[in-house]
Amino acid sequence: MGENPSRQQWLSTVHHRRAIAVIRTADMAIGRQLAIAAALGGIRLIEIAWNSDQPSRLIAELQQELPDCDIGAGTIVNREQLEAAIAAGAEFIFTPHVDQDLIRQAIAHHIPIIPGALSPTEIVQAWQAGASSVKVFPITAVGGVSYLRSLQAPLGHIPLIPTGGITLDNAKEMITAGAIAVGLSTALFPHHWVQNQNWSAIASHAARLVDTLEVIAAP
């Protein structure tokens, strides 16, 4: 198994913070506002999807603007993107798939990496390769919380972060079912609020999520 020295620190951080805001936008200025709104609501883990507008610049600027947040990169699919994300200052990496080369590369840089997996085989392979935790994606397409519960019996030792269809309504249920954290995108940033640039509504929405998850006792 690959040894990832950043694993324990990541697990401690994500277990405490519970929610990850996933930002994917074709306009960097909008991405910045979404990140600020999420942070105002109390979310401290912010993922910038690499297929967003100017992700390197956005990550670097948010590092300066939101010092209390951990800013990471998501949708990383190859070595070049990973190197660019790390150079921009990304503090964690999410990938949509399991790529052992990317896991090794992140470990070499002491950067937490969270690969996307769906089947038990993929989840175990990612964890054994040294992943900091494993993203279960797309969770709602395969049964949502019931699928997560089914994974817990054989794979309860592997910290899972479900994404893909997570909402304020099911986020607490996911944590209660055993997820270490959840990732939200569309449900956290409703289109009509983004279109109307209603950042205060998004901040309040984020705060409700944080409040909901904070009441869950640690296992």
Report the alpha-carbon angle 161-45-13, nearest 5. 70
**Structural contact between residues 78 and 54, judged by C-beta atoms closer than 8 angstroms:** no
In DSSP terms, 71 is beta-bridged to: 46
User: What tokens does 125 get?
Assistant: 């392979």
83 is catalytic: no
Q: Which residue among the candidates 61, 65, 135, 214 is catalytic per the annotation? A: 135
Dist. CA 165–CA 20, nearest whole Å = 13
Q: What is the CB neighbour count within 10 angstroms for residue 138?
A: 16
Name residues whose C-beta falls within 8 Å of residue 197's C-beta, 6 or more positions apart in sequence: 33
Q: What is the CB neighbour count within 10 angstroms for residue 10?
A: 24
Q: Which residue among the candidates 3, 47, 122, 214 is catalytic per the annotation? A: 47
Dist. CA 147–CA 122, nearest whole Å = 15
Q: Where are the alpha helices (DSSP H) in the chain?
A: 7-17, 28-40, 55-65, 79-88, 100-108, 120-128, 145-155, 168-176, 191-195, 199-214
172 is catalytic: no
Which residues carry out catalysis? 47, 135
